[in-house]
Structure 1
Amino acid sequence: MDISSLLSIRGASLLARRVVLATLFFLGLAATSVKAQDIEGKNVSNVEIRYNGPRTVDEARLRNFISIESGQAYRSEKVDNDITKLYESGLVSDVRVFAEPAGESLKVIYEVTTRPDYVAIGFVGNSVFSDQKLAKETKLKPGGMASDEVILSARRNIEEYYRGYGYPDVTVTHRTQPSETGSGVDLIFIIDEGGKKEIHKIRFEGNNTYDSRTLRKQMKTKEKGWFSWLSKSGRYESQELDSDVEAVLDYYRTRGYLRASSPGPRLDPVKNGKVDLVIPINEGEKYTVAGVGFGRMTVFKPEELYPALTLNGGDGYSSKKMRDDIKMIRSYYGSRGYADASVTPDIRDAGPNKVNIVYRVTEGSRYRVGRVNIEGNTKTKDKVIRREMPLKPGDYFNSVELETAKARLENLQYFSDVQVDGQPGRGGYRDVNVLVEERRTGSISAGIGFSSIDSIVGFVNLEQTNFDIMNPWAFTGGGQRFGANLRLGSERTDIGISLVEPWFMDRQLALGGELFYKDSQYYSDFYEQTNAGGAIFVRKPIGEKASLKLEYRLEQVQIDLDPAVTTLSAASPFGPSLLLPEDGDYIRSAISLNYVYDNRDAVIETRSGEKFDIGLTVAGSVLGGDVDILGLSLQGQKYWNLAWDSILSLNGELAFVDATSGSVPIFDRLFLGGGRTLRGFEFRDVGPRDPVTGEVVGGQSLGFLSTEYTVPIIDNVRAAVFYDLGFVNDGAWDPSPSDLYHDFGVGVRLKLPISPVPIALDYAVPIDSPDPVADKGGQFNFYLNYQY
């Protein structure tokens, strides 16, 4: 007996590999009359790598993918993982693992067949695109090795490129051949281009109730247009077209046309490879719901579910409402631990153009949570993921909480893909499986830009959203947020560094701080403001959507007045300028408390939900400063997702500041004007003015309201129309809207590849200005359209 197990897999999926591994392992044991317990857990005396064929990969490189080491206990699971890693590395085409008894120990041998180098990449059958262009699309480089997965990805890249230019039937295969150099192989892609099919027009037949324009909006497939090179319109893809036809029919069924159907689309050739896409529609009759009921249930009573139904007796039939009600019923059951509950709608005629709907529920069994398994996190610590999981072992299994966990993990922005699901465990338990795919969470950016507020700006930003201060040199995986920035411009200098620990002491309590230096000349033509200091805060969630934030901020503020103010004051008939007392240095020591409720569906490009922020700020000598003020602010945002993915938003603020001793310094006073506020007016140009310099010195009461409506134009581009109004009053606690400023404007929201945050470009015109000096005509603003 010299071989106790033999493991060999060729290009199988991970699950298939494990099945084959287990089968071969036990077959090997049976063939040699060795029991599993005679091998599992035995000490490994030596790990050898044996080559089958040419030695094209260095042994040290292969050992990087092998976890079993001499002196360790033999574990078949480790062998499984090692084989998987070797295949995924692309370095080997075959692996066999032998475990040979060596006295009381085991000698483990990895027999590998290594892949040859790809000397060159070639193409056969391509007439539309050159070899050079296709080679670029493969994203492969000659002179290296590639796994089967990488080659398949290259084939898909080529096919996707062809489809983007109207070749939906393209197929790509590959083969290898010995290289003419005498070493290595050439990788040849074999291309069957198929015929060109670009969609010229999309037409419907039989649509009497809804016009073709309305139905085309339900489809992802679009007609070829002027901007097809950017929007990729005009593509013909059979799978997407099937979904589009179903979307059109569902549009009918959602509006009562229960029997709407289509025999399928057809293509009418036009010319030059273009086709008209024709979709026949059989609308049928419009139906109403006579009544809604439930089959036999034991967990819930019908009267418990009826109030939550959206489709009721007397309503027009709607497939969407019926799907929503099915989802609601399953959520009710899922929240009680019935993970396998299924709901089937039984639709039966109840007279002319009427139907009865009976929801028949198969309840299944109730489960508790077994294990919570996490995979795919190569950088992020397990605890960072586990603390976002609302389900813990022993809890009643709740399918609704699976969606909550998925949303929480996605919102971390650490992963490009998140999958959370349940699978049968032992007994009456369900295991929760979390599979994540890591993404880059760190970024360094540098550049030069132009701002509509502060002219030319050079910047350097360093950000790591998955920071770990306890992991030197790598500094990733701990779920902390670190940022450092430097901005240098003709009218500004900003330096800042910040760190936030969202789970301080492994509790749901965020602790953060920042250090900053800001020299701002763009606030005014008559003074320069410098802020230097730091802040520390704690934030505690209140339920799922709300939080309380307590912050302490200590900073030195310097107001450096232009000597021209003194000169103007001496010659002014109005007396000294209001700016003169502002000159000097201040110590501002302040504590603030904010209550935030945020139920938006997304932080960036919000479509629905609302956010409210109520804040109270106190600064004064009792805290060690020389600025004594009391501030109150109330901010709110509301979003509605309307037809054609348009978005209507409402944004408002009411703020007050008052001095508890002395006067409110200019850096704590309130202003409007510029991007995100009154966009038809210049930055900080709305508010009480200094009669000597004509400079706005700010007020102590502020009100602002803005409504905006955006519609998609093409991917990542939205058009906007907006209306703003607001006031800034000189006195504290004065919400009187007697002096209202209004503006109206249009804009564009661009989501560029270089930035995940949309860029806003706006042009607004004042409609009414109580202060004629503030009306300087139309204003152009651009800024990052992103607000926390």
Structure 2
Amino acid sequence: MPLLFLFILLFSLPSHSQEPPQIKAGKISEEIKKIYRLRKIEIKGLKYVSPQLIYPVINIGKGSIVVRDNIVNILRDLYKLGYFRDVEAYTRYTENGIDLIFVFKELPVVQKIEFEGNEEVSDEDLLQVLGIQTKERMESGMALPFSTIGPELSEKLASIRKGLGRVLSVDEINKMVKAIKDKYEKEGFYNTKVSYYFKGNTLVFKIEEGKRAYVEEIKIVGNKQLDEGEIKDVMETKERSIWKLRFHPRLRKEQLFEDVEKIRELYIKKGFFDVQVEKPQIELKKGEEYYITIKIKEGARYKISGLEFKNNKYYTDEELLRRFKKDLKSGSFYNGEIVERLKKEILDRYTDLGFIFAMVYVDKVIDKKEKTVKIVYDIQPGEVFYVDKIDISGNYESRDYVIRRELRFAPGDLFRRQDLFRSQSRLYGLGYYDMVGFDPHVKEENKIDVDVKVQERFTGQISVGAGYSQLTGLSFFLSLRKGNFMGTGDTASISFTVGSTYRNNEISYLHRWAFYKPVNLGFSLYDRYVDYTTFVSVKQGFSPTLSWEISEYWRAGTGITIEKGKYKDITVDAPQRIKDQAGSYSLVSTFLNFTRSDVDNPILPTRGSNFSITFKVGYGTRGFYKTSFSYSKFIPDKLFYTDWVLSFKGRYGIVEKMNDKIPLDEYFFVGGDFSIRGFDYGMAGPYDKNLDPIGAKQQIVFNLQASHPIAERFLWGYIFTDMGKGFNSGNPFKNMFYSVGVGLKIVTPMAPIDIYYGKVLNPPSGVGSSRIGFVLGTFF
């Protein structure tokens, strides 16, 4: 019989304890002096934890020499897994070697989590911050990832699903304790205590919430050259301010220490390279008020001693520095924001040449003795790339050629950033896409593939309705308009009405890229009969149009309208402008217009301009000639580099008769949603004694607007001022009307919506001075 005796190494640790394991060894007598080799390893006591997690930790194999230190180290590593109450190791000696037997007593499988003592924070909120699935799971053999044992074990653990119905490690439970404390800290509790215990298969967190406090005051000490307000602006931690609606601002200590670093970065950007920002002092008063003191030693403010460009092969130094001469001249104070703007300017210029992976490194050579800094821009242009393949995705409706024909780059072209921007602007200009993006992939040396990704917007509009009045009777109408018709890029529209005394029937079509050229052909055919109570208007007409792209940004257009109409059944109380138009008329009008546009996005423009000039001549019983001019400009804020966009629009128009009368539709009606906001339609021009607008022969309108995103690509806010008038003769800049207001632009899948309030500063007598407007479409 081989000698059989027991060698026990035992340590145990309750789930709530962090003490190191206690190792106990029995007597081994003279056998301890012998050399024994490992015969086999046995694992016992596992119910929930997979043996696959155990074997990688036992780092001795068959035939290895077994010594006491090996077993001690293995026990400690097994304990570090955090899934066991007790771990015991037994040895059994045989004639062929030694057997190792590991016996485990596992922590309980957690099927439920509960909280005690939480009165101010709900169970639901606490469960949310734990980051664990709370739905019960009954499968076993699962464990949390553990990344400190080795790559093999880490890989196995990383693939395990999180959730209940398994053993939670001590490390994971401690992370939950910290998450609970962090949650309470965010809610303003400064001395929360959290412990835990097991109640069967339920893990219970016991919480002592403590007291809630808020930041009453932040005091900055030692700032002599930077304003206290400027320093506090970079901090996320805020002090109490009634007028800023901060009644009980919370303190997060981690955030406060990050604020200290932000203050230091602010000073360095201003040239204070020796600045020291001390650890903030936090004082609690009255059991609920935090008083925070931050001490600063500013040091000297460094000046620029010189500026150098390295590897600037394609521009002169003067060209790069032109916009920044004044701010970066020798002897001026260092300004990190200006330094970064020049870096961006250099990158933009080099990427415009096709160096899309250009890098610019800024090195600051500091002379602490002279308190100066030399700025060195090291330019690494890299290589130019040529377009190879172009892949298009996201166009579930649009055909590929609708997108490809708008791209300003093709296979074999030099890949340039400005071509991407222009392509994006042209695609947005179609009005079919909510999002247009480009994802370039380097394929091989000097070749690049480009993925064009679009997100289509809803381009169909359907209107169905019915109406009834004593004069018109019952009528039904249907209107259908489809942009990107059948994915071709064309626009089709049809509307018709069924009624005894009301109809508005029209069909129109716009065909883009006719003859595979940038030529648009369109037509409109209409028949309208409307009873306006005081008069009846009848019109039938046909209007074909043609436009062509004469250069990248310029387009010319022409068209003809053939119309017959009549104003009849005019009552005595009808507006005078209608009485003046009484009778039948025939009209043939032609127009010629020129437009230029480089706006980045017609729905949410942030840069670029629009220009349009139109000449129109009418022949027949309503002969006239008309000229209209319009110019819009969108300017992003590059002075303070904020997200504000400044918009300007100016319009001028004049119409004169050739024969009897000017057609009613050709007069200018100034005032309302699309001209001077705050006025009712047409009331910023001539009107009759009944306060009905009669239209003007001339108009001049200026609009200024400043817009800022509230929710990017969805909601913008803006302020505006409008000025102008409708008039028949005289000085166009004399006696203009002025209005101011605020508004919101909401971008919907159908169309952008503007809701605004406009206030007229000098309304004429008897005319309303303010108005809330609702605009479907774009203003500028």
Fold-level match, TM-score > 0.5?
A: yes
The C-alpha deviation readout for 1:247-306, integer Å capped at 9, x for no partner, is 877766665556779789999999999999999987665444333221134444545544
Match of 1:45? Answer: none
1:347 Cα deviation after fit: 1.7
Judged with a 3 Å threshold, the aligned counterparts in structure 2 of structure 1 residues 554 and 341 are, in CA distance, closer, same or farther, namely: same
Q: Deviation of residue 761 (structure 1)?
A: 2.4
For residues 200-599 of structure 1, the aligned pairs below 5 Å read: 205=220, 285-307=300-322, 312-314=328-330, 316-349=333-366, 352-409=370-427, 418-426=436-444, 428-436=445-453, 438-444=455-461, 464-468=482-486, 477-482=487-492, 498-516=508-526, 527=535, 529=537, 531-560=539-568, 562-565=570-573, 579-599=578-598
CA deviation profile, 1:143-169 (whole Å, cap 9, x unmatched): xxxxxxxxxxxxxxxxxxx9xx89995
Give the TM-score of the pair, scaled to structure 2: 0.60
Is residue 724 of structure 1 aligned with residue 716 of structure 2?
no
Q: For the residues of structure 2 that align with 1:381 and 1:235, how far apart are their CA atoms?
A: 54
Amino acid at match of 2:398: T
Cα distance between partner residues in 2 of 1:436 and 1:253 = 40
Task: Please state how far the C-alpha of 1:763 moved relative to its aligned partner.
Answer: 3.7
1:288/1:463 CA distance change after superposition, 3 Å = farther
TM superposition shift of 1:727: 2.9
Would the aligned equivalents of 1:254 and 1:321 in 2 still touch at CA under 8 Å? no
**Cα distance, 1:587 vs structure 2:** 3.5
Instruction: Give the superposition deviation at 1:710.
Output: 5.2
SS in structure 2 at match of 1:767: coil
Mapped to 2, the partners of 1:309 and 1:498 lie a distance apart of 53
Deviations 1:529-576 (A, max 9, x none): 45554544333345544433333334444434532159x9xxxxxxxx
Structure 1 residue 578, shift from structure 2 partner: 6.3
Identical-residue share of aligned pairs (%): 20
Are the counterparts in 2 of residues 496 and 517 from structure 1 also a CA contact under 8 Å? yes
Contact 1:582–1:666 under 8 Å retained in 2: yes
The whole-number CA distance in structure 1 between the counterparts of 2:604 and 2:484 is 22
Preserved CA contact (<8 Å) 1:479 1:502: yes
CA distance in 2, matches of 1:387, 1:325: 35
> Which segment is superposed worse, 256-265 or 582-591?
256-265
The answer to whether 1:748 aligns with 2:743 is: yes
The alignment status of 1:787 with 2:779, answered yes or no, reads yes
Which structure 1 residue ranges, 5 or more long, are not aligned? 1-122, 129-133, 135-161, 180-186, 450-456, 469-476, 569-576
* Residue in 1 that maps onto 2:696: 699
CA distance in 1, matches of 2:750, 2:265: 36
Partner of 1:610: 609
Q: What are the Cα deviations for residues 579-635 of structure 1, in whole angstroms up to 9, with x where unaligned?
A: 4341133333322222223344443344444333222112224xxxx4311111122
How far 1:712 moved relative to its partner?
6.8
TM-score normalised by structure 1 residue count? 0.60
RMSD: 5.4
Distance 1:460 1:223 in 2: 59
C-alpha distance in structure 1 between counterparts of 2:480 and 2:556, whole Å: 28
Q: In structure 2, do the counterparts of structure 1 residues 401 and 722 end up closer, same or farther at CA, with 3 Å as the change threshold?
A: closer
In structure 1, distance between residues paired with 2:483 and 2:252: 38
User: Letter of the aligned partner of 1:324 in structure 2?
Assistant: R
**Is 1:761–2:756 an aligned residue pair?**
yes
SS in 1 for 2:449: strand
Q: How many Å separate the matches in 2 of 1:264 and 1:548?
A: 67
C-alpha separation between the residues in 1 aligned to 2:593 and 2:249?
50
Code of the aligned partner of 1:759: D
> Structure 1 CA distance, aligned partners of 2:307 and 2:262?
25
Structure 1: how far apart are the matches of 2:586 and 2:134? Answer: 71
Distance 1:273 1:415 in 2: 53
Q: Distance in 2 between matches of 1:397 and 1:652?
A: 37
- The answer on whether the counterparts of 2:355 and 2:384 sit within 8 Å (CA) in structure 1 is yes
Amino acid at match of 2:305: A
Work out the CA distance in 2 between the residues paired with 1:539 and 1:173: 61
Contact 1:406 1:418 in 2 (8 A): yes
Q: Residue 675 of structure 1 aligns to which amino acid in structure 2?
A: D
CA gap 1:372/1:746 in 2 versus in 1, 3 angstroms: closer
The C-alpha deviation readout for 1:197-223, integer Å capped at 9, x for no partner, is: 258769685666666765676689999
CA change 1:741–1:317 in 2 (3 A) is same
Offset at residue 676 of structure 1 (A): 3.0
Aligned to 1:671, what secondary structure does the other structure show? coil
Q: Where does residue 47 of structure 1 map in the other structure? A: none
Alpha carbons 1:344, 1:359 under 8 Å: kept: yes
Q: Residue 356 of structure 1 aligns to which amino acid in structure 2?
A: K
Tell me, in whole angstroms, the C-alpha distance in 1 between the residues paired with 2:187 and 2:243.
Answer: 14
What is the CA-CA distance between 1:694 and the residue it aligns to?
Answer: 6.1
Query: Is 1:617–1:631's contact at 8 Å kept on the other side of the alignment?
Result: yes
**The 10-residue stretch of structure 1 (712-721 or 324-333) with the greater mean CA deviation from structure 2:** 712-721
Rate the CA distance shift 1:222–1:761 in 2: closer, same or farther, 3 A.
farther
Query: Given that residues 441 and 466 in structure 1 are in contact (C-alpha distance below 8 angstroms), is that contact kept between their aligned partners in structure 2?
Result: no
Question: Does the 8 A contact of 2:425 with 2:601 survive in 1?
Answer: no
Give, in whole Å, the separation in 2 of the partners of 1:380 and 1:657.
41
Structure 2 distance, partners of 1:632, 1:502, is: 26
Higher radius of gyration, 1 or 2: 2
Structure-1 separation of matches of 2:498 and 2:704: 33
Which residue identity lines up with residue 329 of structure 2 in the other structure? G
Distance of 1:458 and 1:764 partners within structure 2: 38
Contact 1:630 1:660 (8 Å CA) reproduced: yes
**1:63 counterpart residue number:** none
> Which residue of structure 1 aligns with residue 681 of structure 2?
683
Secondary structure at the residue paired with 2:572? helix
SS in 1 for 2:762: strand
CA distance, structure 1, for counterparts of residue 262 and residue 623 of structure 2: 61
Q: Compared with structure 1, are the counterparts of its residues 712 and 588 closer, same or farther at alpha carbon in structure 2 (3 Å cutoff)?
A: same
User: Unmatched 5+ residue regions in structure 2?
Assistant: 1-110, 117-121, 140-160, 165-172, 189-213, 467-474
Q: CA deviation at 1:225?
A: 11
For the residue of structure 2 that corresponds to 1:510, the secondary structure is strand
Paired amino acid for 1:627: R
Output the CA distance in 2 between the equivalents of 1:549 and 1:313. Answer: 50
Q: Which residue of 1 aligns with 2:131?
A: 171
Q: 1:706 to 1:419 in 2, by over 3 A?
A: closer
**Amino acid in structure 2 at the alignment position of 1:652:** G
1:371-407 Cα deviation digits (max 9, x unpaired): 3334454443332332233222222332443444455
CA distance in 1, matches of 2:634, 2:320: 29
Letter in 2 for 1:478: T
Q: Is the 8 Å Cα contact of residues 568 and 582 (structure 2) preserved in structure 1?
A: yes
Separation in 1, partners of 2:479, 2:613: 30
